[in-house]
Structure 1
Amino acid sequence: MDIVTFGEAMTMFVAEEVGDLHNVALFSKRLAGAEANAAIGFARLGLRSGWASKVGADAFGTFVQHKLASEHVNLDHVQIDSERPTGFQLKSKVISGDPQVQYFRRGSAASQMSIADLDATYFSSARHLHMTGIPLALSDHNRVFAQHVIQQMRAHHRSISFDPNLRPALWSSHTEMIETINHFAIQADIVLPGIEEGQILTGSSVPEEIAEFYLQQGVKVVVVKLGPAGAYYRTQEQSGTVSGFIVEQVIDTVGAGDGFAVGTVSGWLAGLTIEEAITRGCAIGALAVQSIGDHEGYPSENELQYMIEHHPRYPATDIVVEDVTRYDPSLEGVK
C-alpha cells in the first residue's frame, strides 16, 4: 500500500431539515470518522490506502465496511468485535457555520483496539502512516496500539504524518490532552495543526512560533491551517504561506481538515514542493465544505487538478490569522 491509517469510523445520521436535533424527524445515513475520511480521500486520488480498526458485529459495522470497500480502501486489518458495538452519531443541518454533532461512541469496538489486535506487517507494508489524535483520546488501549504502530513504521524507515484533530470533550483533562497529543506529534515527519489547535498545544497563536515548537523537537514539516484563506508552512530550510481557494457558499465544514491533510500529504508523497502540496490541501478543503457529509466532496486526481487550475484563490495579502483568543476548550471539535 501507499498509505495506511487507523481509527474509529461511525455511522452518521445527517438531519434532512434545519433545526435542533431533537426536533428533526428525518435523517440520511452516511459514514463518519476522520481516519475513514482520509482513507477515502487518498483512495479517490489513486493511492492504495488502507484503514485499520475494529467494528461491532452489527448493522452499523457492516455499513462502515461496505462503504469503505466501495471506495476501494483496503480493510485487511479490520476486525469484528462480537461483544462491543459500532459507534454512531447525529449531525444537524445548518444554513451556515458548523453543524451540531452528538456522538454515541462510549465503549465502542474501535475504542478497545489494543496491541493484541496489531498486525505489524500490515502497517509496514505501506510506505506512509497517517494518523490523528482522535484514537488517542478514546482509550489507553488505543494509545498503546498507536505507539507500537509508530515504532513499527520507524523500524522500517516509513514516513508519518499527524493531524491533531483535537476533541476536548473526549479527554479526562486539558493537560492530559496536550501532553499526549504532543508526545505523538513530535514522532511524526509532518504535523498539521489548525491555528486554534496550535494555540492550545503550544500556548502561542503565532504560526511561526507554533511551527518552531515542533521543529525544535525533530518534526520535519509543520503546516498550520489559517482558515479559509490559506496555510502557513515551515521546515528547517524554508517557510511561507499558501493562499486558499475562494468559496462562495459553505454548506458543511466537517471533513475540510481531513481533506486538507489528504491533499497536502498526497502531494508530499508525490515529491511535489511544499507549496504545491499545500495547494492541493487547500483545494480539497474548499471542495469539502461545498457538500453535505464529511468526505462526499473529496475529488479524484483529475477533479483536483481542474480545481487548482481554474478556481480563484485569495490574494496572498488577504491571508490573515484567525483570532483564537476566545477559544472555548469545552467545544467538541477543534479545527
Structure 2
Amino acid sequence: MSKSLDVVTFGEPMAMFYANEVGPLHEISSFSRALAGAESNVATGLSRLEHPTGYVTKLGEDSFGQFIVDTLHREGIDTAGISYTKQFSTGMLLKSKVTEGDPKVEYYRKNSAASKLSLSDFDGDYFASAGHLHVTSISAALSPSCLEFSKHAMEFMKGQGKTVSLDPNLRPTLWPDTETMVSTINDLAGRCDWFLPGLGEGRKLTGLDTPEEIAGFYLQRGVSLVVIKLGPEGAYYKAASGEEGYVDGFKVKEVVDTVGAGDGFAVGVISALLEQLPAAEAVRRGNAIGALAVMSPGDMDGLPTRAALEAFMNAGA
C-alpha cells in the first residue's frame, strides 16, 4: 500500500445482467451489464464522496473477474487487496425489470471464488491502512471460511482502535436456517460500533417491535450507535451517549428500483460519521442517498458525487 484508506470492506462482487425490458427473465432477450454486490455498492458510494476506499475479495481468473476489477478501478476503488484463483469462477446474477415492486433476482454464486475467501487471504497491513471497516452479513453467510474471515477482520480492526460498521443485509436463502442467521448476525453485531438494520430486519433479529426497543437491544451488547431504517419515513437513531431521534426521509418523485437503497443509506451514514458530523446529520445524509438510490434503475446509478449530494439535500432542506 502506497496510500492510507478511509475505509476498507470485503465481500462478493458479481457481474449483474439486468433486463432491458419488463417481463419474466426467461423471456428477456436483451440485458445490460453492471457491477453488483452490497459491499461494492458501498465502496463505490464512498469513493464518489471522495473517501479513499479499498475492496478485498477473491475473484476467478475469468472475464467476469476482469470486468469487476476494471469497474472498481474506474470508480477509484483500491484493489490491492484482491486475490485470484483458477479453481473457482466469479459469481453473477440476473435481475428483472419491473414497473412496481421488487425485481426478481437469480444468483449464480454457489462455490464462487469469493466464497473461498479465508484467513489465509487476510492481510493485516492492508486492513490496518484503513481507518474504518464496513461489513455486511452477506459475506458471513457465504461459507464457514468467510464467516471466520468476517469475525477476524472485525476483531482485528477493533484491536487497532478503528471503527467498524455492520449492515445486516439479511439474505435468508444463504443461511442454513433462521436460528443460525439470527444468532450469527447478533454475534457479529456485538463486534461493531455502528449497526444499520432496517426495521423489519431488527424485528426478525431481536423479536422486538419498536425502533427504540431494537436499538436498546444492541446498545446493551456494546454497539455505540444504532441506526434503524424506516423506509420512506426516514430513520431512527440512538447512541450509547443517550442521544436519539427520528430523522425524516426525503421526498421521492418516483420509485424506480429499491435494490441498493440500504447500501446508499450506509454510504451516507458512514461518510458523514467519518467527517465527524453529528449523528442526526449522518442519518439525514443516509436518508438522502437512500432516496437517490430508489429513483435510479441500477444498484449504483443513484450513488452521488459530493456536488450532486449537496444539491439534492439543499433542494430538500
Normalised to the residue count of structure 2, the TM-score between the two structures is 0.97
Of 121, 124, 137 in structure 2, the residue corresponding to residue 120 of structure 1 is 124
SS in 2 for 1:228: helix
Equivalents in 1 of 2:237, 2:269: separation in Å? 11
Match for residue 268 of structure 2?
Answer: 263
Of 160, 163, 168 in structure 1, the residue corresponding to residue 167 of structure 2 is 163
Amino acid at match of 2:11: G
Match for residue 295 of structure 1?
Answer: 300
Match for residue 146 of structure 2?
Answer: 142
Size of the aligned set, in residue pairs, is 312
Q: Say whether residues 1:49 and 2:53 are aligned partners.
A: yes
Equivalents in 1 of 2:9, 2:75: separation in Å? 15
Q: Which runs of 5+ in 2 are unaligned?
A: none
SS in 1 for 2:205: helix
CA-to-aligned-CA distance 1:136-168 (integer Å, 9 cap, x gap): 110000011111111211121000000000000
Match for residue 239 of structure 1?
Answer: 244
Of 154, 172, 178 in structure 2, the residue corresponding to residue 174 of structure 1 is 178
Match for residue 281 of structure 1?
Answer: 286
How far did residue 205 of structure 1 move? 2.3
CA-to-aligned-CA distance 1:47-100 (integer Å, 9 cap, x gap): 000100001011100001000110000000101111100000000001111111
Equivalents in 2 of 1:244, 1:99: separation in Å? 23
Equivalents in 1 of 2:209, 2:264: separation in Å? 23
Equivalents in 1 of 2:77, 2:258: separation in Å? 23
CA-to-aligned-CA distance 1:276-318 (integer Å, 9 cap, x gap): 1111101101111111110111001111111111026xxxxxx
**Is the Cα–Cα contact under 8 Å of residues 215 and 227 in structure 2 kept in the other structure?**
yes
RMSD: 0.8
After TM superposition, the structure 1 = structure 2 runs for residues 1-335 of structure 1, keeping only pairs within 5 Å, are 1-236=5-240, 237-311=242-316
Amino acid at match of 1:256: A
Q: Which runs of 5+ in 1 are unaligned?
A: 313-335
SS in 1 for 2:237: strand
Normalised to the residue count of structure 1, the TM-score between the two structures is 0.92
Moved over 4 A (4+): none
